[in-house]
Amino acid sequence: MNAIAVKTNARLIQLETDAMNPTFKEGDVVEIEPSGFEGDGLYAIETGKVVQIKRLAWHPQGVSVISDNHLYPSYLVSVHDIKVLGYVKAVCKFL
């Protein structure tokens, strides 16, 4: 019998919108490695009670929160006003 190693601190999140198209599609499942903001990249963030996958980029006045889908506008926030849950480590894409 084969054993599967599982990290207990990893999180799986299924995307419910097309905000990150074409990088991720609605329904894709991403694995999140818990961390804070460590520089530009793809992260899970929490705003209010909503968890989102966004591209974060350092900016002199804070952090740019970017959706890959051009229909969703980017915005700038203070690093203290955003809760970073972790960075995107892997994705399971559905065809």
Q: What is the pLDDT of residue 73?
A: 96
Helix, strand, or coil (residue 50) = strand
Q: What is the pLDDT of residue 49?
A: 85
CATH of the domain at 16: 2.10.109.10
Quote the number of domains for the chain.
1
Mean pLDDT per 10-residue section of the chain, whose length is 95 residues: 54 92 93 92 91 94 95 92 92 80
6 within domain boundaries: no
18 within domain boundaries: yes
32 within domain boundaries: yes
Question: In the chain, which residue ranges form alpha helices assigned H by DSSP?
Answer: none
Q: What is the pLDDT of residue 44?
A: 95
Q: What is the pLDDT of residue 57?
A: 97
51 within domain boundaries: yes
Q: What is the pLDDT of residue 85?
A: 94
63 within domain boundaries: yes
Residue span of the structural domain in which 70 resides: 11-92
Q: What is the pLDDT of residue 1?
A: 47
83 within domain boundaries: yes
Q: What is the pTM of this model?
A: 0.84
